[in-house]
């Protein structure tokens, strides 16, 4: 098939998080070519009419959608699948509704809570339960932006009262891409569970834990921007991923897998996804985020999980394509 590999246009001043999509597009294009397809990379900007014209001229059989941002804005992520729906072009990954719901952390948390799934308590400046206990640390994070943008250990506030939390959210709006929220900080272990479409439904790939090796007492444990993108930093060097667990973790891993499957179902995900968890000191898992289009770069967590499962990258691409309902 002729397949358009679409990604957000990357500006010259873009950070590592945005530039990474170019690595994804290159890897996916190589993988598709190895399967006998004809990939054509297409950058997508706010000029959606240009994308429409390019697609009309190309006439691809389908789109492999890697668009994570448009004009560097995560809150526009759903525009491109909505455009493809209007054009009736089949595309990989989550549909428009699922992309919107999971990318907006507030909506995602409300859906999780409504489904009875555990997610940390939260509030925003405009939506704050007066009866919500404020004691305990809170994490200030973006509602829309992913890739840990604006997230580091100073995002966790200890001993803050209601007024200070509101003031911090207001002060950090610019750095966090607009709307932000305060989420109860869970001090514990961090897990990523990747899912991949299969013949009988989603397959949960081997669970991964992000460890905080060498963290001194008192250093806040968050998988922030430095941990993901800034090579040479303490955080980058000391947050390794592991797939090896002691036997006593088996019940916990089974519980995490079941929660990941439930997230796939309630958000109507397809193709591939990743669910991020924190597990507190009592062993209670909490769903942090549902990522409907996790990074496919060779060094990313999703690819590491597929390799752990014994899958080649072409295998993964084939299953993602087969998970596209418009092709059936």
Determine the structural domain holding residue 155 and report its residue range: 122-184
Same domain, 194 and 259: yes
Q: How confident is the model at residue 235 (pLDDT cuts 50, 70, 90)?
A: confident
Residue 232 lies in a domain: no
Residue 318 and residue 280 share a domain: yes
Please check whether residues 78 and 111 belong to one and the same domain: no
Minimum mean pLDDT among 21-25, 36-40, 133-137: which range? 133-137
Q: Are residues 251 and 290 in the same domain?
A: yes
**Average pLDDT for residues 271-296, to the nearest whole number?**
96
DSSP string, 101-138: HHHSHHHHHHHHHHTT-----EE-SSS--TTS---S-E
Per-residue model confidence (pLDDT) at position 277: 97
Residues 83 and 130 in one domain: no
CA 39, 45, 48, 54 dihedral sign is: negative
Integer Cα distance of 256 and 279 in angstroms = 10
pTM here is 0.92
Q: Evaluate if residue 227 carries a pLDDT over 90.
A: no
3-state secondary structure of 233: coil
pLDDT of residue 280: 96
Task: Say whether both 194 and 315 belong to one domain.
Answer: yes
When the pLDDT of each residue in the chain is averaged and rounded to a whole number, the result is 91
Report whether 11 contacts 73 (CB < 8 A): no
**110-154-286-251 Cα dihedral, nearest 10 degrees:** 170
Same domain? For 36 and 178 the reply is no
Burial of 169-193, coded b for 16+ CB within 10 Å and e otherwise, reads: beebeeebbebbbbbbbbebbbbbb
Q: Do 174 and 202 belong together in one domain? A: no
Mean pLDDT, range 155-183, rounded to an integer: 84
Residues 72 and 164 both lie in one domain? no
> What pLDDT, on the 0 to 100 scale, is given for residue 73?
85
- The neighbouring-strand residues paired with 290 are 275
pLDDT at 135: 74
- If you count them, how many residues does the chain have? 328
Q: Is residue 87 located within the same domain as residue 105?
A: no
Residues 64 and 127 in one domain: no
Q: How many domains, in total, are found in the chain?
A: 3
For residue 30, pLDDT beyond 70: yes
In a domain? residue 224: no
**Closest to 26 measured CA to CA, from 78, 55, 66, 54:** 66
| Residue 278 in domain | yes
80 located within any domain: yes
CATH number, domain containing residue 323? 3.30.470.20
- C-beta of residue 260 within 8 angstroms of C-beta of residue 203: no
Transcribe 34-46 into DSSP letters: HTT-EEEEEEE-S
Express each pLDDT in 60-114 by its tens digit: 999 999 999 898 888 899 999 999 999 999 999 999 999 999 999 999 999 999 9
What pLDDT score was predicted for residue 128? 65
Name the strand (E) or helix (H) holding 327.
Answer: none
> Measuring CA to CA, how many Å separate 187 from each of 42, 117, 158?
41, 19, 12
Within a domain: 78: yes
Burial environment of residue 59 by CB neighbours within 10 A (0 to 12, 13 to 18, 19 or more): exposed
Contact at 8 Å (CB) between 70 and 80? yes
Q: Is the pLDDT of residue 170 over 80?
A: yes
Of 38-47, 104-113, 211-220, 271-280, the least confident: 211-220
Same domain, 285 and 194: yes
Question: With 80 as the cut, is the pLDDT of residue 244 above it?
Answer: yes
């Amino acid at each position: 098939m002729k397949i358009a590999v679409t990604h957000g246009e990357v500006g010259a001043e873009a950070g590592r998080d945005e530039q990474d999509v170019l690595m994804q597009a290159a890897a996916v294009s190589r993988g598709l070519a190895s399967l006998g397809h004809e990939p054509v990379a297409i950058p997508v900007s706010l000029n959606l009419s240009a994308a429409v014209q390019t697609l009309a001229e190309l006439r691809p059989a389908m789109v492999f959608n890697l668009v994570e941002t448009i004009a560097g804005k995560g809150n526009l992520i759903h525009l491109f699948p909505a455009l493809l729906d209007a054009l009736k072009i089949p595309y990989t990954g989550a549909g428009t509704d699922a992309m919107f719901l999971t990318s907006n952390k507030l909506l995602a948390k409300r859906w999780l809570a409504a489904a009875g799934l555990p997610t940390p308590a939260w509030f925003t400046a405009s939506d704050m339960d007066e009866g919500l206990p404020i004691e305990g640390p809170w994490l200030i994070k973006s509602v829309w932006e992913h890739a840990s943008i604006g997230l580091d250990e100073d995002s966790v506030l200890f001993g803050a009262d209601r007024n200070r939390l509101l003031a911090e959210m207001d002060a950090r709006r610019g750095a966090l891409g607009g709307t932000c929220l305060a989420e109860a900080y869970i001090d514990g272990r961090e897990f990523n569970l990747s899912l991949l479409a299969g013949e009988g439904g989603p397959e949960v790939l081997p669970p991964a834990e992000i460890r905080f090796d060498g963290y001194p007492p008192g250093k806040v444990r968050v998988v922030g921007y430095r941990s993901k993108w800034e090579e040479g930093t303490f955080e980058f060097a000391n947050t390794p991923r592991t797939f090896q667990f002691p036997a006593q973790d088996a019940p916990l891993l089974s519980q995490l897998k079941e929660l990941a499957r439930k997230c796939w179902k309630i958000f109507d995900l397809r193709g591939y996804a990743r669910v991020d968890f924190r597990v507190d000191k009592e062993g209670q898992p909490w769903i942090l985020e549902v990522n409907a289009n996790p990074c496919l770069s060779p060094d990313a967590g999703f690819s590491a999980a597929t390799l752990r499962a014994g899958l080649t990258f072409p295998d993964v691409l084939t299953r993602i394509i087969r998970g596209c309902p418009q092709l059936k």
